[in-house]
Amino acid sequence: MTLRGGLGPPLTPEALREKSAESLVATIYVGRPGTPMPPWHRFLSEAEAEWIVAQLLAGFPTE
């Protein structure tokens, strides 16, 4: 909810700046095997995963 991390890493624009959009989309779509990050492909299309990454990289409005 805060995107500042907890079990997972922070998902703020600053934290994600060095990462490629493609790798972040893949992380959402197929998960990270061996970590608690689950795959979301059963619930999301790849286009929706791309949309989420675009929102994360742009940062959400503060209000």
Question: Is the Cα torsion angle 11, 16, 21, 23 positive or negative in sign?
Answer: negative
Closest residue to ligand HEM using C-beta atoms: 8
Interface residue list for ligand HEM (CB under 6 A): 7-9, 11, 16, 19, 24, 27-28, 32, 35-38, 40, 52
Phi, psi of 51 (to 5 degrees): -65, -45
Catalogue the E-assigned strands of the chain.
none
User: Smallest distance, Å, CB 63 to ligand HEM?
Assistant: 21
Closer CB to ligand HEM, residue 30 or residue 62? 30
